[in-house]
Amino acid sequence: QVQLQQWGAGLLKASETLSVTCAVSGGSLSGYYWIWIRQSPGKGLEWIGEINHSGNTNYNPSLKSRVTVSADTSKNQFSLQVTSVTAGDTAVYYCARGRGRGTRMGVWGQGTTVIVSS
């Protein structure tokens, strides 16, 4: 059974770079889409971006200039970086596995809480 285990720095200062990594166990990166979602306090879910098995990426247009999603097949993990963070980036960040572009996300990580202080 595929599981996603994620980690990253929980407290950042404004203008720093957010970095969260998600390790895949029980399966490989091949053949799937690897997705990042976030949820600000008391708010709904927001798609950040994703990378597919070919290394192609798609990003939320509102975040595109600051976001990078990458994958390391040798370590069987994928990562999210968000540059120049502000308080508005304070959220729980989730990684997830999808079967294709826009398709269902059947496996989720446990979430990583990131707080940005000014």
Partner 1 sequence: QSVLTQPPSVSGTPGQRVTMSCSGSSSNIGVNSVNWYQQVPGTAPRLLMFNSNQRPSGVPERFSGSKSVTSASLAISGLQSEDEADYYCTAWDDSLNSRVFGGGTKLTVL
Interface residue list for partner 1 (CB under 8 A) = 35, 37, 44-47, 50, 58, 60-61, 94, 101-106, 108-111
Chain-centre distance for alpha carbon 103? 16
Which H helix or E strand runs over 116? strand 112-117
Residue 91 or 109 having the CB closest to partner 1: 109
Residue 50 or 89 having the CB closest to partner 1: 50
Residue 75 or 101 having the CB closest to partner 1: 101
59's tokens:
């990003």
34's tokens:
């690897």
Min dist CB 111 to partner 1, Å, is: 5
Min dist CB 16 to partner 1, Å, is: 25
Min dist CB 11 to partner 1, Å, is: 19
Residue 110 or 117 having the CB closest to partner 1: 110
What is the phi/psi pair of residue 63, to 5°? -120, -5
Strands (E), 43-98: 45-51, 57-59, 67-72, 77-82, 91-98
95's tokens:
């990684």
Min dist CB 25 to partner 1, Å, is: 16
